[in-house]
A and B are shown apart, each in its own frame.
Chain A
Amino acid sequence: QQQVKQSPQSLIVQKGGIPIINCAYENTAFDYFPWYQQFPGKGPALLIAIRPDVSEKKEGRFTISFNKSAKQFSLHIMDSQPGDSATYFCAASRRDGNNRKLIWGLGTSLAVNP
């Protein structure tokens, strides 16, 4: 059972376009939602993150929109560049006893054509 559903699986846009990646979750205990970016041959790296008390967060060209009532959040990349071509993962985090549990989406492979 996939607790964090991510779509689309792959996405191709032209340079300057605005790719949007969507994620949905069920468990209302999740309280932190990070996005990770992974380039080929590298490990994932934190891109941007949001907490559910905020509806939007921007960092440079990257924006997370968060809809708590719908239990959905999405990543928007403004003015996308070929260098943004990577795999993007959404995730959701919750307390699990004394630890935190991080549940990953399945990833979206983004290609930005020049």
Chain B
Amino acid sequence: DTAVSQTPKYLVTQMGNDKSIKCEQNLGHDTMYWYKQDSKKFLKIMFSYNNKELIINETVPNRFSPKSPDKAHLNLHINSLELGDSAVYFCASAGSDNSPLHFGNGTRLTVT
């Protein structure tokens, strides 16, 4: 069983469109994250979310919004997609304190 699964694996879309990426974890973790990895492999945290608090990286445009229907899911909605949004987006989850992050296998988003 996949611990952190995200769909779709690939997403190709045009500028200006709105898209969503789904993430589910079956580890019972309290906190979930969205990361963006650019072509140089740099990992940038976008959001962290638990059932109490949403923490937003202030550099993330408000076109990006996380939506959590329940503790096991954290979806990412992106409005008005831009060319610069092309990247691999990773969902991750973690338990308490310094427990390791468990990542999904990523969604490669290409905006044309």
Contact = CB atoms under 8 A, between A and B. Distances in A.
B98 A99 contact: no
B106 interface: yes
B53 interface: yes
B43 interface: yes
A45 B92 CA distance: 10
B106 A102 contact: no
B100 A46 contact: yes
Interface in B1-50: 4, 40-43, 45, 48
Interface string A25-59: 00000001010101001111110010000000000
B41 A46 contact: no
Contact of B103 (A45, A102, A109): A45
Contacts of B48: 99
Contacts of A46: 100-101
B79 to A, nearest CB: 25
A107 B101 contact: no
Interface string B88-112: 0010100001101111111000000
Interface of B: 4, 40-43, 45, 48, 53, 55, 90, 92, 97-98, 100-106
